[in-house]
Structure 1
């Protein structure tokens, strides 16, 4: 039948899990490689205002300064990523890519002259998106998710301030700003689409 679903289609729940687990496994794999003697993949991170460091925008989210750095990012990323996936996997990828690229570009433009790596910039982008989208969209689902994020991760707000020299607060700050920006835009677009009557 023409409208019969393909047996190869991925169920929504499995698709959400596959998306998040794939990113987590990629980060773990790269950290394993990075831990080998003589290997330093972190040189591919963002180095502000350097032409070669510009390419780091695409690599930095998947690289980490060590296992402690990676593990500190994985659980909040999984939780916040799962909450964004409650809208759709497509929405998750839009937020992930936008915050990684825009947040990374802002780090490259305005960050300290040092290597910036880690998933925390995107993590803050997911956090900023979920809070802003809930405030702007004001549906029960969006507000409930936003409240849950504030309850669980209100402490993240301190990460956008310079505290420790080895922590890239710039990634946190610009990631959060990028998340807020796309959250505002998508909430406006979704409200406009919902109110449109052909």
Structure 2
């Protein structure tokens, strides 16, 4: 192990070492009897790495495959990590794991080609809970649809939020972007 410079990272659950040719090898592992995404006392998350080397042409949009240690069929959110390659815009993505991989969109906005090496960690994948509802961007976020959705979620016996009296709900005029305040009926007054 010393000769190959083997490192076991229990935080990211990865075994890292140099092979005979000197190439870096990263192997994900799990602890016996504990799911990778549910380690005791830790948040459920997995490191997302490129499945293979990707060459990105200038000013292009590409879909890349990220390899991660999660069960097939699990839906989650990919969150990109800060990188020194500021000309690459990596989109936060909601996707379902298929064959241990998820698809992520990468934009190369600078006038040069870029080669992303295989196994490079580009972000974190966090599985969604079963009680989370994911809204798609195909018109479901229109003002009327969101109002109906919030009304359907509202409960008559809902407890007030902690420090609800200190909440500052900002209103915006029509024609500008609007946030959706989650407040009890009657507390915000009539709409403008």
- Give the shorter-chain TM-score range: under 0.3
The structure that has the greater radius of gyration is: 2
Greater RCO (Cα-Cα under 8 Å, separation 6 or more): 1
Indicate the structure with greater strand content: 2
Indicate the structure with greater helix content: 1
